[in-house]
Structure 1
């Protein structure tokens, strides 16, 4: 008889970690079994197994009788090392291991009928031919150079009889990378991502596991559970991409951390690659140039000086550039950072901002024609008719401020009515299929103009003639310690795509971030930013935990936050100057009628969670109304 620890493959909120069952037959770590939980038969992943003899005392003294598993559904469906790191991920991110597991295993694959078709044939072959130790490195360069580098290490790995895996943050980036890397290795290259059908995923999963020769595996999060035991190198491409952090809904965790734990457990060569890496990546060996060269003419245009003609969306230099390139039938990308027409509406008498009645966020004006204009809340999605009078003082003097992509588009239509205009933001692009269609139509229309937000970079990876940053200054006003890094990364990526001209229109021409971008001085920016974070004690100088609480009652919310802060300070056993606990209201304090408050814990770098067991225990026992993010991507 065998005593098993299993993680239910269920999105239900299960505290307390894995569950214990028994089996007559010996299962392997990574097997999928069927268990009865709360009266339902559901699949579960085996994460450990021991003979009854070694657990007899614990079983006898246990508070309840063990249940028997119903059956073994699939042999070795998941890499055994992946099954082992689930608890580490759960402990590090204070997230249920069952929720994390469901993130990695696509829902279509977990259908009972689909699992039954796997049968007993899924086996990871062959074993790794050579023993190896974990090694981490980074490669910072433009995409074409990175692809060349990856081809080299892939072929080196295959020549040693080892497979290679490339992890990417989005489906679009995975498909592009697969197209670039499979050349000459088509029969040994496989791709996995969440947009594939259950039939395609099942077939790919089996072929990956059963291939008699080393393979190249490219994909999104789905590739980590199916990494072969003969894998030698794991590449985390586009390492600084924000989509690696699962921050919009539970479970909150960083996929890059999962890749790192997997590489350590399997003894892989882990490579973080990007055009500009996160500052958190600077602890690994350096293999990249400190300055990025560009063939495009880079220029900063100062629009902060008062003009006799008043405010204009585009400076004379921008309109002159647009006229010249359109005459040559060359395409242009104009970038704005805000959706909608105008992000803020103010009363010119009382100074009140028009905000959402459900949230404390300003209502954003949408619509390019006056008759179609609406107010829209980007948080609760409430729509309202455009009001004519101030809700605070009833004044008629309401004025919209700021420039959204719709306002950019309206001005371009007025200036160039005959030019074909495209828009590429989350309001205009509803699906990946639609995004690819718009992208192709734009590329097939020379002399056209596209107005886009940063979603543009998720789909465009090949060079374009002209890129103009039309409205970016608003990002500098956001009080987040990562904001300069985010802006630098975004602009460096855009600059690398520009073939002929790269132009920044700004009221902040002397801001150091812009000078670093135009010169391509990555080292200079990283050194200055790291020094600033060291002084202010932000990552990578410390471990950072963000705890968020929401409640309709503001007084109750503040009281609960204060009680938790007191409990954490009392429970903190490592008394040193590196520990810090502060709380503050969220940047948007109220969403959908619920107030939001953040608490930040700053801990000694590398000490979480091992040196803070009491804090970890306190956080694990918090109810679901509390949200916990470890090394969060944003403090807002």
Structure 2
């Protein structure tokens, strides 16, 4: 028998390995196995198919080393989902596997081994194997990696290594093995003899009449087993049987010594108990909607009504014995006391689990393995990576705040969009898909208008225009009239408004979509900016750490004492320009020294503890002014907000992106709606500082008619043939040499022009930031009409890539990837 496996590497296709005879009954599709690759390394792979015959044309097939799992970690539906992701987003299945499973579930070599102290040889070992075994034994309890073994003996060690593993002479100690176990727990079960014979068990209970504490604990165990329908062969967690009761723990040890009970260990399971049961919502009968099959959209501007509706749908699905997956951008931040996440956790207890970057590696692994081994109803709240959890009874997928661009993975393959991938996952698993938002994306509203996705709210139920109280401040005029100095960014109008709000005991939020202190540092003598040595961007000055940082590649350096361009030794003449959140917070503190001011941006959010402390401080009311970037929109900070100040509207609108106005409207409109729910009278006031107060965007925002705004955006996009009327795929070519990347981009454009209609292909584009992390970048954008089959475009791209690899030698010096449905 032969196993077809996926290896978590960016290599096309899958690999075949022979299944040793003693493993034929153990290996199943979806299990992890350890396989050798090359002469020095091996990887943890996932079995995607089992064949009776070897693949044609292959002379030598290596054997599987060992099986990692006792039960499949993923299902055939999960594997089909990976295949679709790889095909649609033009990447390898190995890259999808690397994203789908937590990295700690896919340990690689540097594999480490130790000698098995209980090994007894049944037959003489070959000399080469003995030499390696002696080397390992001499290290004692210290592990030894394969690389170290091969260096010591001066030849490949894998054949001997495989034989020693198979014989049991050595034990594997993967560097990540400890992390792959997940959270385990101590359990208690009846001794096998008592579990097999109920009469013997009853007799044993009677014999304990002189040890009433032991008799009572044994009866308690039997009752717990019976209540969970696992009597007599099941296991009960030690924490449920004894809790923190030291007396019961002592009694348990006595029963174990007598051979009546046995102690075991297992992966911690999701229990059948749930949290407090309480009414989900005050929805009236008209609002109690039964979701249709397929994709539905709930477009509702009232956050509370939206959340009540979600609770109702989750409760209904859970009651049907199915699982719910709730994707939410808020899952990566600490939940507030009255948040939807917190209410769901209280309602469903252990059956509500979180899966995002906020959870530890151990927590994520534990949940992954629990879902693989159990199919009980559960609610999972997570970020985009939660799509890959092995949920066997998935009944409902919710994509909350679907317009958020965090749903699109952009830095690494697969560059998938969680909303679109969720729709395919729903089809594969027979689950309903619910899209929710206060400000749906243009694509979603378009799909609703053509009937592709069902709009759940009709007529009077649909959101109505919500005018926003907006005041614009012409910053260009203030600077020209010298009413504001070049190193100031808080206008007199904004200062007056902040003062008025603080006197009322209310709060102010100031948005500046740039982190750091100064956007760049320039020498007054030579007029040159300090730039990143690896990117074509200026370094951002962070005053708190006295560092210059690149926000693209992560490069850091201390602020120099001498100008690197002209050698000017006067450090005072290296001046920061522009305004980041640090600088805005510093300026507002000078204006209002008595106010409690907090800054929230991604620099702060890097520390989970620090962010939780700040959010607790906001929740307790000990904050007057909050300064931050757009990430604040997803945080629970919108109580008692009476004023929103946008420090630089132009920087939000200035991105070279056809969606820039849409993104800005969604951000500012959501801030206005969320803060208005806590306002005692009228709406939250918004002050926009801008150099262009006549910008039509401002008037559109003040009307508060989001649907009308998007309809106008769609008209413009249709005229210019932008999504959703076309689909964009960006070919990104990177190389360390500018001439190489330019040449390869030209060659690729020539080849792809032969395979696709010329009007669908843009000219070669050099991005505004030409060089990132030492690599020069060129882009070619393919624009596919929605009526054109995606397979035709996909085949043309793959054919062009293959031809380029063969005919253009410089292509081997480039890194090429494809961003399908680029945003």
- TM-score, normalization: structure 2? 0.67
- Show the counterpart of 2:212: none
Q: Cα offset for 1:611?
A: 4.5
Q: Partner residue of 1:128?
A: none
1:563 is displaced (CA, Å) by 0.7
2:300 is equivalent to residue 138 of structure 1: no
SS of alignment partner, residue 12 of structure 2? coil
Distance in 2, matches of 1:442 and 1:463, equals 9
Deviation at 1:356, TM superposition (A): 4.0
Which residue in the other structure is 2:423 paired with?
A: 260
Q: What is the rounded CA distance, in whole Å, between the counterparts of 1:223 and 1:595 in structure 2? A: 33
Greater CA drift, 80-89 or 65-74: 65-74
Deviations 1:70-120 (A, max 9, x none): 344322211321111212211222222222222221133444456578999
Residue of structure 2 in register with 1:566 after alignment = 750
Question: Deviation per CA, 1:463-508, whole angstroms, max 9, x where unpaired?
Answer: 4413221223123222112211221221122112213423132323
Q: Does the alignment pair 1:383 with 2:542?
A: no
Residues 182, 382 of structure 1: alpha-carbon distance in 2 compared, 3 angstrom cutoff: closer
Query: Is 1:168–1:174's contact at 8 Å kept on the other side of the alignment?
Result: no
> Measured at CA, do residues 504 and 82 of structure 1 come closer, stay the same or move farther in structure 2, by a change above 3 Å?
farther
Please state how far the C-alpha of 1:617 moved relative to its aligned partner.
3.8
Contact 1:375 1:386 in 2 (8 A): no
Confirm or deny that 1:533 pairs with 2:699: no
- Structure-2 change in CA distance of 1:303 and 1:202 (3 Å): closer
Structure 1 residues 68 and 194, CA gap change in structure 2 (3 angstroms): farther
Which segments of 5 or more consecutive residues in structure 2 lack a partner in the other structure?
Answer: 107-175, 185-264, 271-290, 448-452, 806-810
Q: 1:264 to 1:463 in 2, by over 3 A?
A: farther
Which residue is equivalent to 2:321? Answer: 161
Computing the radius of gyration over CA atoms, which structure comes out larger, 1 or 2? 2
1:338 corresponds, among 497, 500, 514, to 514
Please give the secondary structure, in 2, of the residue aligned with 1:450: strand
1:159/1:295 Cα in 2 relative to 1: closer, same or farther (>3 Å)? farther
Q: CA deviation at 1:445?
A: 4.5
Counterpart selection for 1:608 from 769, 786, 790 = 790
Residue 386 and residue 495 in structure 1: after superposition, are their counterparts in 2 closer, same or farther (change >3 A)?
farther
Partner residue of 1:629?
819
> Which aligned pairs between 1:455-534 and structure 2 lie closer than 5 A?
455-460=631-636, 462-466=638-642, 467-499=644-676, 500=679, 501-507=684-690, 508-534=692-718
Q: Distance in 1 between matches of 2:48 and 2:330?
A: 28
**What is residue 44 of structure 1 aligned with on the other side?**
45
CA deviations 1:3-50 (Å, max 9, x no partner) are 432212x3x33x222222343337443222332323444322222334
Structure having the larger proportion of residues in strand: 1
Distance in structure 1 (CA, Å) of the matches to 2:499 and 2:87: 57
Counterparts of 1:468 and 1:600, CA distance in 2: 37
Residues 483 and 290 of structure 1, relative CA distance in 2, 3 Å threshold:
farther
Higher relative contact order (CA 8 A, sep 6+): 1
Alignment check: 8 A CA contact 1:304 1:506 kept: no
Equivalence for 1:232:
395
- Residue 242 of structure 2 corresponds to which residue in structure 1? none
Task: Return the offset for 1:241.
Answer: 2.0
The residue aligned with 2:612 is 436
Q: How does 1:388-399 map to 2 (within 5 A)?
A: 391=565
Q: CA offset at residue 335 of structure 1? A: 0.8
Residues 47-446 of structure 1: pairs in structure 2 closer than 5 A: 47-50=48-51, 52=52, 56=53, 59=54, 61-74=56-69, 75-110=71-106, 111-112=176-177, 135-142=294-301, 143-169=303-329, 171-173=331-333, 177-209=340-372, 213-281=376-444, 282-283=446-447, 284-287=453-456, 291=463, 297-306=469-478, 308-311=481-484, 313-344=489-520, 355-367=531-543, 375-380=548-553, 381-383=555-557, 385=559, 391=565, 401-446=577-622
- Give the direction of change, closer, same or farther, for the CA distance of 1:390–1:103 in structure 2 (3 Å limit): closer
- TM-superposed CA distance for 1:182, in Å, is 3.6
Classify 1:341/1:222 alpha carbon distance in 2 versus 1 (closer, same or farther; 3 Å).
closer
- Give the superposition deviation at 1:269: 0.9
Q: Where do 5+ consecutive residues of structure 1 fail to align?
A: 125-131
Alpha-carbon separation, structure 1, partners of 2:815 and 2:591: 51
In 2 relative to 1, CA 595–542 (structure 1 residues): closer, same or farther, beyond 3 Å? same
Q: CA deviation at 1:216?
A: 2.1
| Superposed CA offset, 1:145-175 (max 9, x none) | 3221211211222343332221234642585
1:155 is paired with a residue whose SS is helix
Contact 1:168 1:236 in 2 (8 A): yes
The alpha-carbon distance between structure 1 residues 44 and 347, as it changes in their structure 2 partners (threshold 3 A), is: closer
Deviation at 1:511, TM superposition (A): 2.6
- Whole-angstrom distance in 2 between the partners of 1:511 and 1:26: 67
Q: Distance in 1 between matches of 2:518 and 2:431?
A: 49
Question: Comparing both structures, which one devotes a greater share of its residues to helix?
Answer: 2
Instruction: Quote the Cα distance in structure 1 between the aligned partners of 2:331 and 2:361.
Output: 16
Deviation at 1:297, TM superposition (A): 4.5
Helix, strand or coil at the partner of 2:551:
coil
Distance 1:93 1:580 in 2: 18
1:183, distance to aligned residue in structure 2 (A): 4.2
Distance 1:617 1:385, change over 3 A: same
What is the deviation of 1:243?
1.9
Q: Is the 1:106–1:222 Cα contact (8 Å) retained in structure 2?
A: no
Cα pair 1:424 1:456 within 8 Å, conserved: yes
DSSP-derived class of the 2:779 partner: strand
* CA positional deviation for 1:442: 3.4
Structure 1 residues 123 and 47: CA distance shift in structure 2, 3 A: farther
Task: Supply the distance in 1 between the matched residues of 2:465 and 2:364 (Cα, whole angstroms).
Answer: 40
Task: Provide the secondary structure at the position in 2 that maps to 1:77.
Answer: coil
